[in-house]
Structure 1
Amino acid sequence: MQLLTFRTSDGGTLPGRVVDPETAERTLTDALDSGDVASAVFSIHPITVAGVRDVGDLLRHDDWRELASARPGEPVEITGSDIAPVIPRPGKILCTGLNYADHITEMGHELPDVPTLFAKFPDALTGPFDRVIVPTANAGALDFEGELAVIIGRHVPLGEAPDTATAETAIAGYAVFDDFTMRDLQYRTAQWLQGKNLASASGFGPWLTTGDEFNPSGATLVTRVNGVEKQHANIRELVFDPAALVQFITTFIDLHPGDVIATGTSGGVGWARSPRQMLTDGDTVTVEISGLGGISNRIEIR
Structure 2
Amino acid sequence: MRFVRYTDGSSPSWGVQKESTIHALSDLPQGEPDLGDIGNSSYRSEIATLVEHGTLTQVDTAAVSLLAPVPQPGKIICCGLNYRDHAEEQDEEIPERPMLFGKAATSVTNPGDPIVHPDPDGEEQVDYEVELGVVVGERCKDVSESEAYDHIAGYTIINDVSGRTAQQSDGQFFRGKSYDTFAPMGPTLVAGDGFDPNNVDVEMRVDGEVKQASNTDQFIFDVGDLVSYISQAMTLRPGDVISTGTPGGVGIFRDPVEVLEPGQTTEAEIEGIGTLTNTVVSK
Q: Normalized against structure 1, the TM-score is what?
A: 0.83
SS in 2 for 1:79: helix
Partner of 2:90: 107
CA distance change for structure 1 residues 57 and 14 in 2, over 3 Å: closer, same or farther? farther
Counterpart code for 2:23: H
The more displaced of 48-57 and 252-261 is 48-57
Give the Cα–Cα distance (whole angstroms) in 1 for the partners of residues 115 and 262 of structure 2.
10
Give the Cα–Cα distance (whole angstroms) in 2 for the partners of residues 197 and 268 of structure 1.
21
Give the Cα–Cα distance (whole angstroms) in 2 for the partners of residues 213 and 63 of structure 1.
15
SS in 1 for 2:279: strand
Equivalent runs, 1:169-180 vs 2, <5 Å = 169-180=150-161
Q: Aligned-pair distance for 1:204?
A: 0.8
SS in 2 for 1:255: coil
1:150 equivalenced with 2:134 (yes/no): yes
Flag structure 1 segments of 5+ consecutive residues without an equivalent: 25-41
Counterpart code for 1:101: R
- Within the candidate set 179, 183, 188, 2:164 is matched to 183
Partner of 2:238: 257
CA distance change for structure 1 residues 261 and 6 in 2, over 3 Å: closer, same or farther? same
1:132-182 alpha-carbon deviations (Å, 9 max, x no partner): 2223367720000001111122111x21x12x3211222222111100000
Counterpart code for 1:5: R
Q: Normalized against structure 2, the TM-score is what?
A: 0.89
SS in 2 for 1:295: strand
Give the Cα–Cα distance (whole angstroms) in 2 for the partners of residues 168 and 196 of structure 1.
27
1:256-283 alpha-carbon deviations (Å, 9 max, x no partner): 2222111000110000011110111111
CA distance change for structure 1 residues 139 and 290 in 2, over 3 Å: closer, same or farther? farther
Is the Cα contact below 8 Å between 1:14 and 1:52 reproduced in 2? no
Give the Cα–Cα distance (whole angstroms) in 1 for the partners of residues 46 and 104 of structure 2.
28
CA distance change for structure 1 residues 191 and 144 in 2, over 3 Å: closer, same or farther? same
Flag structure 2 segments of 5+ consecutive residues without an equivalent: none
SS in 1 for 2:233: coil
Partner of 1:65: 44
Is the Cα contact below 8 Å between 2:138 and 2:237 reproduced in 1? yes
Give the Cα–Cα distance (whole angstroms) in 2 for the partners of residues 150 and 298 of structure 1.
24
Give the Cα–Cα distance (whole angstroms) in 2 for the partners of residues 96 and 46 of structure 1.
34
Is the Cα contact below 8 Å between 2:78 and 2:103 reproduced in 1? yes
1:83 equivalenced with 2:66 (yes/no): yes
1:184-208 alpha-carbon deviations (Å, 9 max, x no partner): 0111122210000111232111111
Query: Could you tell me the percent identity over the aligned residues?
Result: 31
Question: Number of paired residues?
Answer: 277
Q: Aligned-pair distance for 1:99?
A: 0.6
Is the Cα contact below 8 Å between 2:187 and 2:274 reproduced in 1? yes
SS in 2 for 1:216: coil
Q: Aligned-pair distance for 1:59?
A: 5.0
Partner of 1:241: 222
Counterpart code for 1:129: G
Is the Cα contact below 8 Å between 1:4 and 1:55 reproduced in 2? no
